[in-house]
Amino acid sequence: MNPRTLLVSIFLSVTTVFAHALESADVIVYGATPGGFCAAIAAAREGASVILLEPTQHIGGLSTGGLSHCDSNQMARETLMGLFDEWHRRIVKDYTDRDLQAPYKATLKDTAKWTFEPHVALRVTMQMLKEAGVTVKTGRYMKFVTKDGPRITSLVTKDGTFQAKIFVDGTYEGDLMAAAGVDWTIGREGRAEFGETYAGKQYPKAKMNISGFDEKGGLLPLVTTRDAGPDQEGDKNIMTYSFRLCLTRDPAKMVPLPAPANYDPARFELARRAIKAGIKVGFDLYPLPGDKIDGNNSIHGQLSLGLVGSCNTWHSADETGRQKIWEEYKQYTLEFLHFLRTDPAVPAKVRDEYASLGLCKDEFAETAHFSPALYVRESRRMKGMYVLSQKDIIESPEKDDPIAISSFPIDSHDCQRVALKDGGVINEGTIFPVRIPGGNVGYAYHVPYRSVLPQAAQCTNLLVPIALSSTHVAMASLRIEGAWMVIGQGAGVAAALAAKQSIAVQDLPYPVLRQRLLAQGQVIALPVASQKAAAKDDKDIPMKPLPDRAK
């Protein structure tokens, strides 16, 4: 095809898409994750017209997709107010309005466990979006964006084209940011780049004294590499994804777990060797209301629900590619459950425990009762106006332009599983929760407005509250629904204000933003306990020495 013909073809394609359906609003949020739907609600409550676009059919991300054991019990809950607080109060009210026992006390900002059922979380989320006047559209997978200089002019999906004054990237993956030509990174930094002790390779888990090789010297299934790379250096690996399973043991509420197609017992030879060596294999189970259970990848476990190494290409995959990866994770999950329930290598008591589990018949009916949301713990990270790092969490938490406070511990799941040539297998990349000494919560720190802003030369009408500007270590703390909800609310308020004034997001006066954040109930004053912890000398910070990697 000659260049002229190619240009005509592209022009006709774009013209056809624009002619198909053109809608506009003051603010468009792409991605209905917790940060995305909170951004949409916050912008609408500031008087902006808002369209929330979701590429899949599922609204709410993990908050409505199976993560029902709220991780805010490890956070300074008194700083999680605004929409986060309202959402949780309304979840409790949903139960009490039906004459059911309140699952928790949302008004009590302690470290008690807060749990709920996915369908209740979805109902509350949809109610709040409707009441705010947000137009919600699902199945709007982005194809590309158009720009005029540094401004996004339209977001073109496979089902319609959308224009706005201000855009918010509410995706876990930073898809809109990347499409708009904003600089980003993925993977892990080396320790020297930002002076982070938790950067580079991490080996806090014990080496498993088993072989990771088959009889021909090849890697066993579920082992990702025989060379993790230099300890001090970063790489393109990210922490493992998994599903958060909503399960039950009540036969009256249960749908049997589907048997995996084409199950190959050889896939779990590593697990058999681990069990024989006395190593626990399985996943974490958290009780929920309604006689349900939230199943989660075990951060302390050696082999669990996380399919280590299979998420590294998720960010770059197209819609079809992501669906394929999603199916690979579902297949692994069903196979792992089948192994735990039936394999003779698994102790009988453990087999019986897992065999008693089934899916919930009143959850996720549209997806055969299996969670529609893959747990994307991290993906792209913007290279924005300010890069949050370990230092900002532990040593220098206070900023001049805060839009929210985050306080989840620095906490990373496995990134690699390494077969050592001289014997043994070791998981790499885990960061066990880094908390305030003597407490159960992480360090509280400001999330500055600059961290959700692209460089002005790259884009002037985009805010990025989830794939925000941070290192891998900082994202290991930011990557939690409670944090994304309050950061999303901050971004939504900013989006509405910038749209109203017709100015670049980088030019929004912070005092104006601060005033409206406080009016929406956002907390931006750091708790005293966190400030005292941050003021301690470095020698008092609980930095565990990194063990030498087994060779």
Residues 415-453: tens digit of each pLDDT: 999 999 999 999 999 999 999 999 899 999 999 999 999
Distance CA 434, CA 470 (A): 17
State the alpha helices, DSSP H only, in 98-253.
118-132, 175-179, 191-194
Tell me the pairing of strands 135-138 and 50-54: parallel
* Three-state secondary-structure class, residue 436: coil
Hey, what are 354's tokens?
């897992």
Hey, what are 301's tokens?
């476990």
In a domain, 67, yes or no: yes
pLDDT value for 537: 37
458 burial type by CB count under 10 A (0-12 exposed, 13-18 middle, 19+ buried): middle
- The structure tokens 């929004």 sit at 508
Closest CA to 379 of 232, 168, 203, 176: 176
Distance CA 518, CA 515 (A): 5
Q: What predicted TM-score, i.e. pTM, was given to this entire model? A: 0.93
CA torsion angle for 76, 78, 84, 86 (degrees, to 10)?
150
Helix axes 481-501, 34-45, angle to 10 degrees: 40
Distance CA 295, CA 287 (A): 9
Q: Which CATH number goes with the domain that contains 179?
A: 3.50.50.60
Distance CA 509, CA 321 (A): 41
Mean pLDDT by 10 residues, the chain (551 residues): 43 47 96 98 98 98 97 97 98 98 97 98 98 98 98 97 98 98 98 98 98 97 98 98 98 96 97 97 98 97 97 97 98 98 98 98 97 98 98 98 98 98 96 95 98 98 98 98 98 98 98 98 89 52 39 32
Q: Which amino acid is at 230?
A: P
Note the pLDDT tens digit of each residue in 484-538: 999 999 999 999 999 999 999 999 999 999 999 999 999 999 998 665 666 553 4
Distance CA 339, CA 345 (A): 9
Say how many domains are in the chain. Answer: 1
Hey, what are 181's tokens?
């030509």
In a domain, 96, yes or no: yes
Closest CA to 363 of 289, 297, 296: 289
In a domain, 445, yes or no: yes
Report yes or no: 333 and 305 within 8 Å, Cβ to Cβ: yes
Closest CA to 414 of 196, 267, 268, 205: 205
Distance CA 344, CA 470 (A): 45
Closest CA to 182 of 204, 219, 152, 212: 152
Strands (E), 119-229: 135-138, 142-148, 151-157, 160-169, 184-185
> Which residues on neighbouring strands pair with residue 294, listed in sequence order?
246, 286
40 burial type by CB count under 10 A (0-12 exposed, 13-18 middle, 19+ buried): buried
In a domain, 95, yes or no: yes
- The structure tokens 């003021």 sit at 535
Distance CA 93, CA 183 (A): 43
Distance CA 494, CA 166 (A): 9
Range of the domain at 486: 8-186+438-534
DSSP 8-state code for residue 470: B
In a domain, 91, yes or no: yes
Distance CA 339, CA 11 (A): 53
Report yes or no: 286 and 294 within 8 Å, Cβ to Cβ: yes
In a domain, 362, yes or no: no
In a domain, 496, yes or no: yes
In a domain, 159, yes or no: yes
10 burial type by CB count under 10 A (0-12 exposed, 13-18 middle, 19+ buried): exposed
pLDDT value for 255: 97
What is the secondary structure of 95-134 as a DSSP string?
Answer: HHHTT---SS-TT--SS--EE--HHHHHHHHHHHHHHHT-
